[in-house]
Amino acid sequence: MSQGDERGYGGNEPGRTDDAYSTLGGTRQTRTRLPGGDDDGYGRRPARSSRSLIMVVGVVVLLIAAIAFANQGGGRGSDGGSEKKPDAAGAGPTAATGTKPVQGKNGTIASGFAHDEQGAQSAAANYAVALGSADMFEKTKRDGILQATHDPAVVAALQTDMGQAYTPDFLANVGLNEDGSTPNGLTFVSRTIPVGTKVTAQGTDAATVEVWCTGLVGMAGEGSTKPVTATWFTITEKLKWVGDDWKIESSSQAEGPTPVNGDNRASTADDIAGAVQGYGGFTYAR
């Protein structure tokens, strides 16, 4: 039996390639089975209209842009740190250090990190979580997060810039009320989950840390038109030792690395809302 016959394509179906893992157009994108009806015989729902797809993609881009904007800060400090070179045998180990998470809290955000490489990585991971949270969309909570995670020298200007970015029009575009609150009956989801960290530069009082993350963004609940989707990105944080703790001096964000999606059945909006409300997050330690 040929490979094409085994897949049931006969080798001649338009849009297919000879790659056993390929889908439409050879993009290597896997399909996601959605709950409910509207089945086309392959367990797939009919494609959305181009206008609907553009709207959903636009919302996700705006959410990611907002998180990236939150990570913009001031310039480098006097101790910029030297570039960290890999070990002679290759990249540094990725195993956990075994260090316990810090016990201190600045509001709800971890604080009191060690004045070393492990402490810088732990701080960067926890700060990425805070800056990617749903609280960033409410002014009072956002101002508190920026104050807890950033160098005091850049906080005031950053709070002003953020106030100009989170306009009523922007909030309405992501499905929120003009004040950043969530409409009744829906759950706004914005979570960042660190996958790993890497120090690229280290000095006595400065460090540059990359945090590879996956994120969940969207609106969950009955009647939601902006479903929760997953994103992958890397945040680069330039940290400064100030006030006996690591703080963000400036940062940036880039897309990926992004793995291939698994062939998982998407959960209902109510299931996602229940999971977000029922499962708590973590304090991270490298």
Task: Please report, for the domain that includes residue 135, its CATH number.
Answer: 3.10.450.50
pTM over 0.85? The answer is no
Q: Considering only residues 84 and 265, tell me which one the structure prediction assigns the higher pLDDT.
A: 265
Question: Is 93 contained in some domain?
Answer: no
The string over 170-207, giving b where at least 16 C-beta atoms fall within 10 Å of a residue's C-beta and e elsewhere, is bbeebbbeeebebeeebbbbbbbbbeebbbeebbeebb
Q: Is residue 3 part of a domain?
A: no
Is there a domain that residue 215 lies in?
yes
31 lies in some domain: no
Least confident of 29-33, 81-85, 199-203: 29-33
C-alpha dihedral (284, 135, 106, 202), degrees to nearest 10: 50
Domain containing 267 equals 48-83+108-278
Could you give the maximum distance between any two Cα atoms of the chain, in Å? 69
Average pLDDT for the chain: 77
CB 197 within 8 A of CB 286: yes
pLDDT of residue 137: 93
Contacts 24+ apart (CB under 8 A), 76-80: 76/206, 76/238, 76/249, 76/250, 77/151, 77/205, 77/206, 77/240, 77/249, 79/203, 79/204, 79/205, 79/206, 79/240, 80/201, 80/203, 80/206
- The band of 3, judged by pLDDT with boundaries at 50, 70 and 90, is very low
With respect to residue 97, please indicate whether it lies within any of the assigned structural domains: no
Comparing 98-107, 158-167, 213-222, 241-250, which segment has the lowest mean pLDDT? 98-107
Would you state the pLDDT for residue 159?
95
Residue 35 domain-assigned (yes or no): no
Tell whether 98 is covered by a domain.
Answer: no
pLDDT at position 46, please? 43
Between 42-46, 124-128, 224-228, 234-238, the lowest mean confidence (pLDDT) is in: 42-46
Instruction: Work out the average pLDDT over 241-263.
Output: 94
Residue 198: strand pairing partners:
210
How far apart are the C-alpha atoms of 228 and 221, rounded to whole Å? 10
Q: How confident is the model at residue 36 (pLDDT cuts 50, 70, 90)?
A: very low
Whether 149 maps to a domain, the answer reads yes
Residue 16 has pLDDT above 80, yes or no: no
Give the pLDDT confidence score for residue 157 in this predicted structure.
94
Alpha-carbon radius of gyration of the chain: 22
Per-residue model confidence as pLDDT tens digits over 55-69: 444 444 545 555 554
pLDDT at 172 over 60: yes
CA distance readout (Å), 122 to 71, 74, 119, 162, 254: 17, 21, 5, 25, 20
Tell me: the pLDDT tens digits for 71-84? 444 444 445 555 56
Whether the link from the prior residue into 257 is cis, omega within 30° of 0, is yes
Looking at residues 177-191, what average pLDDT do you find? 91
Q: Give the Cα separation of 182 and 90 in Å (integer).
A: 47
Work out how many domains the chain is built from and give that number: 1
Which residue bears the tokens 């990359």?
210
